[in-house]
Amino acid sequence: MSLEIIILAAGKGSRMHSTLPKVLHKIAGKPILSHVIDNAKQLQPTAIHIVYGFGGELVPETIGNDFDYVFQSELLGTGHAVMQALPYCKEDSKILILVSDIPLISSTTLAKLIDSLDSSDVAVLTAVTNNPFGLGRIVRDENGDVKLIVEEKDCSLEQKKIAEINTGVIASDKCTLTALLNKVGNNNAQHEYYLTDIIGLANSNNLKVSAVKAQCANECMGINNKTQLAIAERYYQENLAQKYMEEGLIIIDPKRIDFRGQLSFGINVTIDVNVIIEGNVKLGNNVVIGAGCVLKDCEIGDDSVISPYTIIESGIIGKNATLGPFARFRPGCKLDDNVHVGNFVEVKKSFLGNGTKAGHLSYLGDSEIGSNVNIGAGTITCNYDGANKFKTVIGNDVFVGSDTQLVAPVKVGDGATIGAGATITKDIDSNVLAITRAPLRQIANWKRPKKKK
């Protein structure tokens, strides 16, 4: 039988206190629903059906159109939501039902649940927790078999003491699901059609119900408010940090790092505290990332040191670079080997050649800078005239003095020296000294202006 997956994502999530649908709040920079989808994809289903409701088209617009979306116009419960999607499933399919606010269940756990259908008609994923408040309880008979699931609001005092809870994840086949859901009523505290009622109905109809207990209850944690969202975020981050450390990454404190994308790294790589990794980031061998850095969609070569609070976005950094602290690289930067860019330097859409140095307090935008160039403090490439942007080209072995303005478009030839305080508006020849200072004047007996009474 083929596998199809139904993801229930129609709820409002009123406890989130947000106009954004709950499923679009983010963990590790990615919507909760996207995590559920990624785990589902690893099972290689023939189709994924997403039942959405609150937020309207915002859910499919955010997640993309690669799935079968089913709109639940009336939010009448989880059983009703599944019934909206079942007509779109093939008759001979196994059906796995996932809940969109439980994003961290591993594909390994889900695969075990599906495999249990080989010996049962309905399978339910359970977990044991120290705090089952608010969650449906798993009621077992004297033989240990699952008898029924009782929602918190419908539990007796004895049932509320049960620590084994329903995760909301259930598997069966289309024929069985359809037959059972057609018998589900809404005679309960919330007057909704509960998907969980099919467990009791299955037992009443002598169908075999199996239960797979999750190895780790934390992977089954639901997200219903901002506190739970933050708890899930840290669980996700610490798990990923643990995985990377087992692969050889040195993380100074796994509780103070955030991964919001994909990271690849060489040997002897060290990452200090409060670093954020976004998008696709590649770190070479012996790279050191200082505290508070933000790396997004970038590649950093071997033996490079990125000092604290440096931001690199969509750039390629060569080998043996020393960057920061407090340097910023906006998109489109490419640095050759042995480049130094120091504190409070901003670089945007520029190339810096081998051995070039910009020590501090400069802006280099839309620039092509050769090898072994010295950029003095306070240098600015004036690339924008208020309407258009222009390029500055600096050759090899150029010395640019402090407080220089290069008004683009402009070119500086190889070996040129630009004196401090210059404003360059025309091309500079090779191997010349360029100075634009006015002659020094000293006015004797100068009286400063005084404030009028």
Q: Are 5 and 15 in contact (CB under 8 A)?
A: no
Q: Which of 66, 64, 59 is nearest to 10 (CA)?
A: 59
Q: What is the DSSP letter of 224?
A: -
Q: Are 220 and 110 in contact (CB under 8 A)?
A: no
Q: Are 318 and 339 in contact (CB under 8 A)?
A: yes
Phi and psi at 122, nearest 5°, equal: -135, 140
Q: Which of 31, 29, 27, 38 is nearest to 52 (CA)?
A: 31
Catalytic residue among 17, 191, 340, 360: 360
> What is 107-118 written as a DSSP string?
HHHHHHHHHGGG
Q: What is the DSSP letter of 440?
A: P
Provide CB contacts within 8 A for 236, sequence distance 6+: 27, 28, 104
Q: Are 397 and 414 in contact (CB under 8 A)?
A: yes
Provide the CA 349 distance to its chain's centre, in angstroms: 24
Question: Cβ of 230: how many Cβ atoms within 10 Å?
Answer: 12
Alpha helices in 356-434 (DSSP H): none
Alpha helices in 23-148 (DSSP H): 32-41, 58-63, 78-85, 107-115
Cα radius of gyration (the chain): 31
Euclidean distance between CA atoms 416 and 396, whole angstroms: 9
Has 17 been annotated as catalytic? no
Euclidean distance between CA atoms 154 and 245, whole angstroms: 45
First to last CA, the chain: 94
Euclidean distance between CA atoms 163 and 160, whole angstroms: 8
SS3 state at 92: coil
Q: Are 360 and 376 in contact (CB under 8 A)?
A: no
- Using left for φ > 0, alpha for ψ between -120 and 50, and beta otherwise, residue 220 falls in alpha
Residue 360, amino acid:
H
- The residues assigned a catalytic role are 360
